[in-house]
Structure 1
């Protein structure tokens, strides 16, 4: 049961009659550092499947109606107006991404209060004083209840390998979920995720009865200087000298990684100038907490006439958390995962004319009024060992769970 103080924070009325969590400040990944202390919420739009319509198109229309035209991404950004609208936080769930490409919805979202798409527009106000963090002495969460047992997870890996053997798919990313009841204020715990080493997209976003905390190192899509950039991560080992050497030498990990790089190249090619897609860096090993991970950088020149909605349809959901071919992988994901991906494996970041920076919501937690939720998984290929995949998912979840448990 959530405390009365936390319940009050979850029900406060915010701008435009929208219920929001007050007092967070703007901690969205990708928000301009120079503006964060001056940003105030101007408007908010959220989408759930029952609302109908195309969420990508509706998000683009909402942004345009609030002085953030993103229907022509190739157009250079205008002068930044310190008295006007700055930009917007954008969250797109994995389920919304699946809907955008016509894939099955899969299992239900375990965080029903959480929308599948959220857009929060921010303007400027006088700089606020730096907040003084209150100690979160009352925060506590209980035992983690897993969405599947290690045996069920391993059996799902075996099922994917069988599908690969039949030629149905080349790779499928499988994700598990866990939830725990909590008491106290969850926001300081979610903020701690941003401090994890390598959390390129560390930050939070909150709304009525929900909040997301992210420690993601992975770029889903960035728009900078007229180029689209994605940085897929695939391949994991313990952050030891032996682990790094093993990752670099693993033919299985490299094959899995290159397969996703090819998928991301194809995704970008759909929205890029012809012939402009290139791999700038391949299989670079970088550290996130106590893990080595392999990352590549793929970029392309943005095509004339490309808008935000078409970009989202091209890159969501991210290839590194779906598999290849993407639609076939999503069908297996919907059939095998017992709990929806919720806040994980989607997109979270910042959008503004001339600038987009969306992280992939791996290493991500979410809260509703009663529970804290986490997700973790990995890519399955023919060469995957079921027990090793279960262990890898646990290793990815461990730093997130430790940060949430700390005081």
Structure 2
């Protein structure tokens, strides 16, 4: 049972799917949620009045590999945490004896523990990287070579690390939600796996028929100097604008003609100890646009693929040492009146005995390999610190 503020929700039904199961995950998800009573066939339609017995909503997780599979693009290497499904949807209903539920503001899971739960016996071992800094830098150089050949304009390169653990991982994952700037903070859990998220980035939000995406590209330390640098950097701005154009084109595929607009360009936001550049792109959805149509248009998120998207995904599949697992996908809430999915950056996953994290960045011709390696480490550092605990967990004697 999951509690959000004054409302208590109970799991009604659950869908879990893996790429090896076959089929189109976007269509499977839409069919499952529609059968549960959620209005996902036409996201442009006005919200329907509440219906007795209708679900409160659903937590939805969609992996980057599932998204690539849905659009016929390379899915990349195998996930380092295969226990985590590629698609999860958990439909909730109000618990008996409690009032109506509007739905949670943040994604969460039926088996998630509260953020202040004790860490009895928690221990996190040393991190082991899936590639060395030199190998990461070499992948950046290879991406730059692909840009020089004209294969891609930009490509996102992501690394992975894992660590052994003992004890209950849920309180550690729940700590991620407390990181400053975690717009999508929560935990989703299943049998033998769990995901914790601290994402600041909106993949797609739909309210009253209008879709919004908030791509983030560009990173600097959250200092006065860092703010001045990110505002003045031609490289960061060019990288960012390229992804904004990609997101505009993605939304245009499912939008009413002439309704796509950039509401804000290159705003500076703070996540933990980093400045990041964020834009806001929106559009009115075309009549009859269903959830499957929307997901195939915007997934995988452009800010974690590159441009053109299919070519960037092919480059990613050739360069990254392991799969993206729970990262670079989508996690959020789909309710009777809204869709709100965050991009699973700043995300961790656990299986039976290891914790996994991912971090990376967008590569353009102007990228410096050593700076890109340092940027990925800076993005991962707050996540690793939160997982370890306030003073760093120690193995019990």
Quick check: TM above 0.5?
A: yes
Q: 2:87 aligns with which of 102, 117, 133?
A: 117
Q: Which residue of 2 aligns with 1:300?
A: 283
In 1: Cα distance, 2:114 partner to 2:218 partner: 39
Q: Alpha-carbon deviation of 1:132?
A: 9.6
Question: Contact 1:171/1:324 (CA < 8 Å) preserved in 2?
Answer: yes
Report 1:229-268 matches (<5 A). 229-268=212-251
Unaligned runs of 5+ in 2: 100-112, 391-397
Work out the CA distance in 1 between the residues paired with 2:202 and 2:82.
26
Distance 1:151 1:365, change over 3 A: same
Instruction: Report the Cα distance in structure 1 between the residues aligned to 2:59 and 2:50, rounded to whole angstroms.
Output: 17
Is 1:54–2:37 an aligned residue pair? no
Determine the C-alpha separation between the residues in 1 that align with 2:248 and 2:255. Answer: 10
Instruction: Assess, with a 3 A threshold, how the Cα gap between structure 1 residues 199 and 131 changes in structure 2: closer, same or farther.
Output: closer
Q: Is the 8 A contact 2:268 2:275 kept in 1?
A: yes
- After TM superposition, which residue ranges in structure 1, 4 or more long, deviate above 6 angstroms? none
**1:352, CA displacement in angstroms?**
2.2
Aligned-residue offset at 1:256: 0.3
Q: Decide which of 158, 161, 165 is 1:175's aligned counterpart.
A: 158
Q: CA RMSD in A?
A: 1.6
Q: State the distance in 1 between where 2:231 and 2:375 align.
A: 17
Which residue pairs with 2:44 in the alignment? 74
Report matched runs for 1:1-400 at 5 Å.
25=2, 37-81=7-51, 83-125=53-95, 126-127=97-98, 133-400=116-383
Secondary structure of the 1:38 match is strand
Is the CA contact (8 Å cut-off) linking 2:120 and 2:168 kept in structure 1? no
Provide the residue aligned with 1:15 in structure 2.
Answer: none
Secondary structure in 2 matching 1:59: helix
How far the C-alpha of 1:63 sits from its partner, in A, is 0.9
Q: How many Å separate the matches in 2 of 1:101 and 1:132? A: 36
* C-alpha deviation, 1:225, in angstroms: 2.4
How far apart in 2 are the matches of 1:282 and 1:189? 35
Partner SS state of residue 12, structure 2 = strand
How far apart are the structure 2 equivalents of 1:74 and 1:382? 39
Q: How many residues align?
A: 376
Question: Are 1:83 and 1:124, in contact at CA under 8 Å, matched by a contact in 2?
Answer: no
Find the aligned partners of 1:131 and 1:270 in 2 and give their Cα distance. Answer: 40
1:231–1:297 Cα contact (<8 Å) kept: yes
Alpha-carbon deviation of 1:174?
Answer: 0.3
**Residue 131 (structure 1) shift:** 6.7
TM-score, structure 2 length as denominator? 0.92
Distance in 2 of aligned mates of 1:131 and 1:347: 22
Please tell me whether the aligned partners of residues 115 and 174 of structure 2 are also in contact (alpha carbons under 8 angstroms).
Answer: no
- Alpha-carbon distance in 2 for matches of 1:131, 1:255: 41
Contact 1:106-1:335 at 8 Å conserved across structures: yes
SS of match in other structure, 1:136: coil
**What's the counterpart of residue 104 of structure 2?**
none
Q: Distance in 2 between matches of 1:64 and 1:331?
A: 33
> Residues 394 and 132 of structure 1: is their aligned pair in 2 closer, same or farther, counting only changes over 3 Å?
closer
8 A contact 2:56–2:336 mirrored in 1? no
Residue ranges of structure 1 left out of the alignment (5+ in a row): 1-22, 27-32
User: What TM-score comes out, normalization by structure 1 length?
Assistant: 0.90
CA distance in 2, matches of 1:138, 1:54: 41
